[in-house]
Structure 1
């Protein structure tokens, strides 16, 4: 929809010599022409200029990735809602596979923008960190690949006192000792089981 803005004063006064000032004019609100984009296609307006509400769509040439917003809208204030994007070659090399992990999806040698690598840990190991990482415009993956730690190590690290201890009025030193023995006995079974798996 074409919008107009007033140029000049919105009111005039009657003075001795007549009306002061000049008659204002109404000009169409338009956004500036878009600068040419290297390695891509710069959109052009359908009419004489970019009117309010018009949307410009950018495209990049083959092998180039679009960095920024693909769609730009001409707002009522005569400005674009985003800066024009750029077209850049993005190539991320496959990161080293973490120890005790394998690539579950995205097994390539090079990746384009937003390309993903998904990992899983081998049997008996627990993943620490995000499972999936993505290729960014800086030609590297974010976040860093996860690590895979043995299940026994994770249990030893995270094992702590029962948060319920000390809150039960029927709890006695004898039951405390019995519970501790039971926890260590169960932990010993897990450690032996994990060792046999290896």
Structure 2
């Protein structure tokens, strides 16, 4: 009733005639809008649950309570043993009855190891979706797919690619170089890890050829060598000169490829840069030539020494002495030469020795005097006792 009143209030209809044709049409449109826009309780289930190993046999547009959906295994899967339920029912509360995976993966057949190679299974099995990897032994290379997958082929399980082959690694000749040659150049094919060694021919000019690059090449893959062939060319660096320096090692009149020279600077100069340089492949010294820079004189931090005047110092005025002659004062008397020659340590030792002798003598005198006094007291005491004894005796 309240909703109807609200609609009447919102619509521009006359209260005295609420059921006019215009008002009726507007009320009808609003009612239809509410029916389609407002959520209404549904008496149906959502889409059936989805599974990795199963799929519904048939799909409907709607599912009412009591409807049943049957599942079947997807391609690449098969029913479990023992069998599990493969259907779900739309329940009265519009939910599907519980159901779990009832199918398991199918397996592909085990693959044999290729000749001169091995096969491995990173997943640990050959089930649907797993992969197999192939490797070849040392000295062999693989022809075909290195990795294959277990998949469905029609109604059966099969690997995505056929097993590869392992072929022996062989190399074509590495190639000729100007002014040079290599060993075993008569061969048309080289086996894995086989080595060829390049060398330069003798030069017809004043300078010899230098081999720039790797002299030994190894066959490491199908028609693949360990490096490019070297070059044989004249590499000659100019005579190295460092101003205010000299060569200490690597003397020579000509300096060819990889010649090494060591420098040092003259006295008073400091080396800036590397002391060792090498003749590079472009006929230049590497690294750059060092420099010998003159050492800077450090500033004098001592105070200036006062200059000595050429004029003679003025004698101080003489102090007037007494009118009569007298004995010379102690300061005027010069010590004897023997006393001057004595060392202070010797004098101290003599003084200590004298004091020690005096102490010993004094101790001896005190000891004998003390002993004499004690003896004297005993004699006096004995005489006094004898006298008393005689005085006390009766006369006969």
Map 1:1-198 → 2, pairs under 5 A: 3-7=139-143, 27-44=167-184, 49-62=189-202, 63-95=208-240, 97-152=241-296, 184-185=301-302
Q: 1:26 to 1:142 in 2, by over 3 A?
A: closer
**1:138 offset after TM fit, Å?**
0.8
Structure with greater proportional strand content? 1
* Cα contact 1:64–1:90 (8 A) shared by 2: yes
Larger Rg over CA atoms: 2
Q: Provide the residue aligned with 2:383 in structure 1.
A: none
Cα deviations by residue, 1:117-146 (Å, 9 ceiling, x for unpaired): 221111121111111111111111112221
- Of 42-51 and 113-122, more deviation after overlay is shown by 42-51
In 1, Cα distance between equivalents of 2:164 and 2:268: 79
In 2, Cα distance between equivalents of 1:8 and 1:148: 65
Q: 1:61 to 1:150 in 2, by over 3 A?
A: same
In 2, Cα distance between equivalents of 1:9 and 1:152: 73
Q: 1:47 to 1:37 in 2, by over 3 A?
A: closer
TM-score normalized with structure 1 length: 0.63
Q: Secondary structure at the match of 2:247?
A: strand
In 2, Cα distance between equivalents of 1:113 and 1:138: 9
Q: Which protein, 1 or 2, shows the higher relative CO under an 8 Å CA cutoff with sep ≥ 6? A: 1
State the Cα RMSD in Å: 3.5
TM-score normalized with structure 2 length: 0.34
In 2, Cα distance between equivalents of 1:28 and 1:7: 10
**1:48 offset after TM fit, Å?**
5.5
